[in-house]
Structure formats: structure tokens, C-alpha cells
Amino acid sequence: MQTDFPKTDAQGWRPALTLLAATLIIAGMWGVVLPRIADLPTMQQKIQHLERKGIDPNAFFYSDHPAAFNNSN
């Protein structure tokens, strides 16, 4: 019975460390950087503008929402 565990040298752990680093970078961007950007006055104005139009600014996909294309407000 053969098991495919990672090698014990640095070469064998490199893919796992790369995945871990990428995951930490994405989590840091999502959990720290993006919320700070959302707190900027310019972004607050854009968020309030979307909310006035009835669009949830936290939604991932709202491009098909009818209010997204209504430029009257």
C-alpha cells in the first residue's frame, strides 16, 4: 500500500505553502482591505446612492436588477 504524502523537503511543501499564502492574502483583502475601502467617504456616497435606488450594495450580482439601469436618480 503506497501513500502519497507530501515530501519532507522544501520542494514537497512548496505547493501547500503557496496555497496557504494565497488563501491568507485573499482573506486579508476580504476581511481587512475591502471593509476599509467601504468606509471611505467616496465609497459611502456610492453605497448610499445605490441604496436610494433600491439596490443592495452588498449583493454579488445586481447587474440584472432593473434599478441598476435607471439613471433618473
Rounded Cα–Cα distance for residues 57 and 55 (Å): 6
Q: What does the pLDDT read at residue 63?
A: 63
Does any domain span residue 22?
no
Q: What does the pLDDT read at residue 43?
A: 93
Overall number of domains in the chain: 1
Residue with cell 449583493: 59
Question: 49-68 pLDDT, tens per residue?
Answer: 988 988 777 776 656 666 66
The cell for 27 is 482573506
Does any domain span residue 42?
yes
Domain assignment of residue 51, given as a range: 29-61
Q: What does the pLDDT read at residue 59?
A: 74
Mean pLDDT per block of 10 residues along the chain (73 residues) reads: 60 86 96 93 92 79 63 55
